Structure 1
Amino acid sequence: MFTGAHVILYSHDAEADRAFIRDVLGFPYVDAGHGWLIFKLPPAEVAVHPSEGPPRDELYLMCDDVRAVVAGLASQGVEVVREPADQGWGVLAAVRMPSGAELPLYEPRHPVAHSLDSD
């Protein structure tokens, strides 16, 4: 039985992005040694989408009110690179991490799987 999923974000400035996740996003963490932080994520789900190009992976942080989350992050000085936009299936936005990478934020408008019972 699987016990969890481990997501890896590759970064040009891992230390700054770790500090952003710790201090700005406020995710709890463990220090695996020498400042190597591993963060606890909210409940997760995985989807498989068709692709015309090479396979790729994406991480979206889900929230109940993406507009409020974006406003809160912007008030802390976080750069909003994609304002919340209704896509029909959800509201999508993105902020910039210190490394320059975009972090997509997503308010789903479809059934979600992350809170299903694991019976």
Structure 2
Amino acid sequence: MFTGSHVILYSQDAEADRAFLRDVIGFPHVDAGGGWLIFKLPPAEVAVHPTEGEPKHEFYLMCDDLDAALARLGERGAEVTRPVAEAPWGRLTAVRLPSGSELPLYQPLHPVAHNL
């Protein structure tokens, strides 16, 4: 029934953030016209968490080895914005996008669904 998911990141400097996803993260892409890049993402999964506050949505890039991913991104000029947080269910950090916002990175230590 569904063929994929489409994630939208809103940015105050979309051109620079697109270049970061293309050049630093290294995602393959298509040009939908006029430099409007649409990126191929790795396999995805979705989780629904309870909240007492306002509902919100989050986007994380998942990796098998967070330390190796950070080393590769650092070689390409990415700035890590948070120390790696260790939790029983995973390891978390983030890198800065050129627009100033953060792109969270996540190494899950729990079973994952994206390879089903």
| TM-score, structure 1 as length reference | 0.94
Q: What is the rounded CA distance, in whole Å, between the counterparts of 2:42 and 2:20 in structure 1?
A: 16
Q: Which amino acid aligns with 2:7?
A: V
The CA distance in 2 between the partners of 1:2 and 1:72, in whole Å, is 33
Provide the residue aligned with 1:64 in structure 2. 64
Q: How many residues are paired up?
A: 116
Identity of aligned residues (%): 72
Please say if residues 16 and 98 of structure 1, whose CA atoms lie closer than 8 Å, have aligned partners that are also in contact: yes
Secondary structure of the 1:80 match is coil
For 1:39 and 1:5, the matched residues in 2 are separated by 12
In 1: Cα distance, 2:85 partner to 2:76 partner: 21
| Match of residue 43 from structure 1 | 43
2:14 corresponds to: 14
Counterparts of 2:33 and 2:110 in 1: how far apart (Å)? Answer: 39
Q: CA RMSD in A?
A: 0.8
Give the structure 2 partner of residue 82 of structure 1. Answer: 82
User: Which structure 2 residue ranges, 5 or more long, are not aligned?
Assistant: none
- 1:30 is matched with 30
What is the rounded CA distance, in whole Å, between the counterparts of 1:18 and 1:53 in structure 2? Answer: 31
Structure 1: runs of 5+ lacking an equivalent: none
Moved over 4 A (4+): none
CA drift at 1:86: 1.1
**SS of structure 2 residue aligned to 1:24:** helix
* Rounded Cα–Cα distance in structure 2 between residues aligned with 1:103 and 1:92: 11
1:83: how far off? 2.2
Tell me how far apart the structure 2 counterparts of residues 42 and 75 of structure 1 sit (CA, whole Å).
21
> C-alpha separation between the residues in 1 aligned to 2:115 and 2:77?
32
Q: How big is the shift at 1:84?
A: 1.8
